[in-house]
Amino acid sequence: MASTRRSFLHHAAVAGASLVLPSCSSPKPRGKKRPEEKLKIGVVGVSGRGADNLASVRGEDIVALCDIDRHRLVDAHKDFPNARVFVDFREMIEMAGLDAIVVSTPDHTHYPASMLALHKRLDVYCEKPLTHTVTQARCLQIRAEQVGAITQMGTQIHANENYRRVVEAIRAGAIGDIEQVHVYVGGTDWSGAGLPKIEPVPAHVQWDLWIGPQKERDYSSAYHPAGWRRYWAFGGGTTADMACHFMDLPFWALDLDAPVELRADGPEPDSEGAPRSLACDYLYAARGSRQAVRLRWACGDLIPTAELAARGLQQWKNGVLFLGKNGWLISNYDSHEIGPKEAFASYVPPPQTIAKSVGHHREWIEACKARTLPSCHFGYAAPLTEAVLLANVAYRGARGKVLTWQREQLVLNGGGSAVQELLDEPLRVGWDG
């Protein structure tokens, strides 16, 4: 394709803050559909999260299914016998008549699948994290805006009623100005170390297509079907897996954008695998009426045990703890609590101002037909993904160092070339979008 990350970086270097991708020949923008009309959807990745996503869009016209695992593809095809089947998403995206695709692949193939679809002006639903690298997220955001695609990142918890009530409470000033936020996950462990044992490639797996844009490496069942999250080449450990869900809440409630400063720490980094424990401290500058905010992401052994214990909140194993001038609010996916209890004994929640969601997938489908923006479109999801992935970059390239982030220029200062190089990765020819 004419529009690539390499051309993006060239334009970024030349234009400074004016980051644009060169245009490329594409079909005309899509028009609206009547609500009763069905979208023609192709689904990339049909098991695991892919199976859940497929089930959530099955009311539309599923015209194509793609998976590198023949067993999974055959099973999915039984439910959609009229769909065409593919093992290579590049071929599926070339299929005539598609309106949209759903991307449920491992992290390292989110970018090429989504970018190729955007070049075709298809609408895109992509699992979190949006991409494998910071630069890839920026490129998808820009390209989606250029072509007018309707996009959504798969942070399904965003549609929960609980998150809506928390956002309303924080925005209404229920606990006063927010000074600090602890975002943490103690119950998930996607850690790994070293290269796993080499094994023969199963006959039903197209391994080279699974590798996709990454450097060639031998097959291991430690990668496929699910263990890939443990390895830097394909995922980003617990941080990449879980932080988009939990950091979504303060991003939404506090209207966060890009940190100006960050520092990540944890055990000595392993060249191949992600750590069990990682913490990253971010500083977000004041914005509008909101004062500067410090946000700390932590997983594994680095979760805020002392802060939770001081407030009698030890039972909250995963969550978001907002610390305000007048109190605290803690939330997980499904519930929240405000305190101290004595001070909030007569607390009355603010009026509900955020409407009930029709469902995360349904929201995207309706937006595709009406040509409106759903709540987790790439313009929102890309900055969230960038912040999440910056934690891994800072940890791997400059553990323990304070770094400053120049978002517009895609420059992370204070860690040298090693950090800057981790903002992106080379992709194999034919997979660079």
Q: What pLDDT does residue 28 have?
A: 55
CA-CA distance, 403 to 265, in Å (whole number)? 12
Mean pLDDT across 228-254: 98
- pLDDT class of 433 with cuts at 50, 70, 90: confident
Check pLDDT > 90 for residue 82.
Answer: yes
pLDDT tens digits along 87-134: 999 999 999 999 999 999 999 999 999 999 999 999 999 999 999 999
Q: 43 forms bridges with which residues in the sheet?
A: 65, 102
Query: What is the edge-to-edge ordering of all strands in the sheet holding 318-324?
Result: 336-339, 327-331, 318-324, 178-185, 293-299, 278-284, 261-265, 403-406, 411-413
Q: What is the CATH number of domain 159-191+235-339?
A: 3.30.360.10
- pLDDT class of 30 with cuts at 50, 70, 90: confident
CA-CA distance, 411 to 424, in Å (whole number)? 11
Cα→Cα distances 299→134, 179, 240, 265, 276, Å: 20, 21, 11, 11, 7
81: Cβ contacts below 8 Å, ≥ 6 apart: none
pLDDT tens digits along 257-299: 999 999 999 999 999 999 999 999 999 999 999 999 999 999 9
Instruction: Establish how many alpha carbons lie within 13 A of residue 430's alpha carbon, considering only the half-sphere containing its beta carbon.
Output: 10
CA-CA distance, 361 to 383, in Å (whole number)? 21
Contact assessment for residue 198 and residue 313, using Cβ atoms and an 8 Å cutoff: no
Q: What pLDDT does residue 19 have?
A: 40
Mean pLDDT across 47-54: 96
Check pLDDT > 70 for residue 2.
Answer: no
Other CB atoms closer than 10 Å to residue 421's CB: what's the count?
Answer: 13
CA-CA distance, 170 to 396, in Å (whole number)? 33
Helices 237-254 and 378-398, packing angle to 10 deg: 130
Q: Residue 235 is inside which H or E element, if any?
A: none
Residue 338 in tokens: 């405000």
CA-CA distance, 105 to 45, in Å (whole number)? 5
CA-CA distance, 354 to 197, in Å (whole number)? 50
Q: What pLDDT does residue 11 have?
A: 40
Instruction: Establish how many alpha carbons lie within 13 A of residue 147's alpha carbon, considering only the half-sphere containing its beta carbon.
Output: 30
Q: 85 forms bridges with which residues in the sheet?
A: 65
| Coil/strand/helix, residue 164 | helix
User: Where exactly are the structural domains of the chain?
Assistant: 159-191+235-339
280: Cβ contacts below 8 Å, ≥ 6 apart: 239, 262, 263, 264, 265, 296, 297, 298, 390, 391, 394, 395
pTM comes to 0.94
Cα→Cα distances 277→133, 205, 264, 306, 426, Å: 20, 32, 11, 16, 27
User: Strand 151-154 relative to strand 178-185: parallel, antiparallel, unpaired?
Assistant: unpaired
Residues counted in the chain: 433
Sign (positive or negative) of CA dihedral 248, 153, 207, 393: negative
pLDDT tens digits along 360-416: 999 999 999 999 999 999 999 999 999 999 999 999 999 999 999 999 999 999 999
Of 4 and 301, the one with more pLDDT: 301
Other CB atoms closer than 10 Å to residue 128's CB: what's the count?
Answer: 26
